A = this chain, B = another copy of it.
């Protein structure tokens, strides 16, 4: 290998995220939601009426994947979809009252983990981590350093 594993920041990020998702997955299971379903509901709470394609971008999954997720959520009565009034081919998706309720339940579980995470850092350290992760994202997307 041309680069030692210990130097690879990407592996560190991946490992931390996998442990985090494993914990969230276990927490959300009690609410009957997968991480992907929870992410979709969460995004819908912030952006009601968003299209499936936009929702897919917000959750960083493929449109087909999001379509499958929405199909399950709709089947459970957690979301409802209706044609956009102006653009007929676009389906606006919104949380139902049940969806809002279940999201609230699941989110309490998720927030427990977020709090454990937040408790491990000072406000300054948390801001630092946020900044470093944002710069990592920018670097992955190909943006030159210090350009933002």
Contact = CB atoms under 8 A, between A and B. Distances in A.
Interface residues of A, number: 56
A81 to B, nearest CB: 22
A113 interface: yes
A119 B137 contact: no
Q: How many copies does the complex hold?
A: 2
A30 interface: no
Interface in A100-148: 104, 107-108, 110-111, 113-121, 125-126, 128-130, 132-142, 145
9 contacts: A3-B111, A3-B114, A9-B121, A9-B126, A10-B20, A13-B133, A19-B137, A120-B135, A120-B145
Interface of A: 1-3, 5, 7-10, 12-24, 42, 45-46, 60, 104, 107-108, 110-111, 113-121, 125-126, 128-130, 132-142, 145
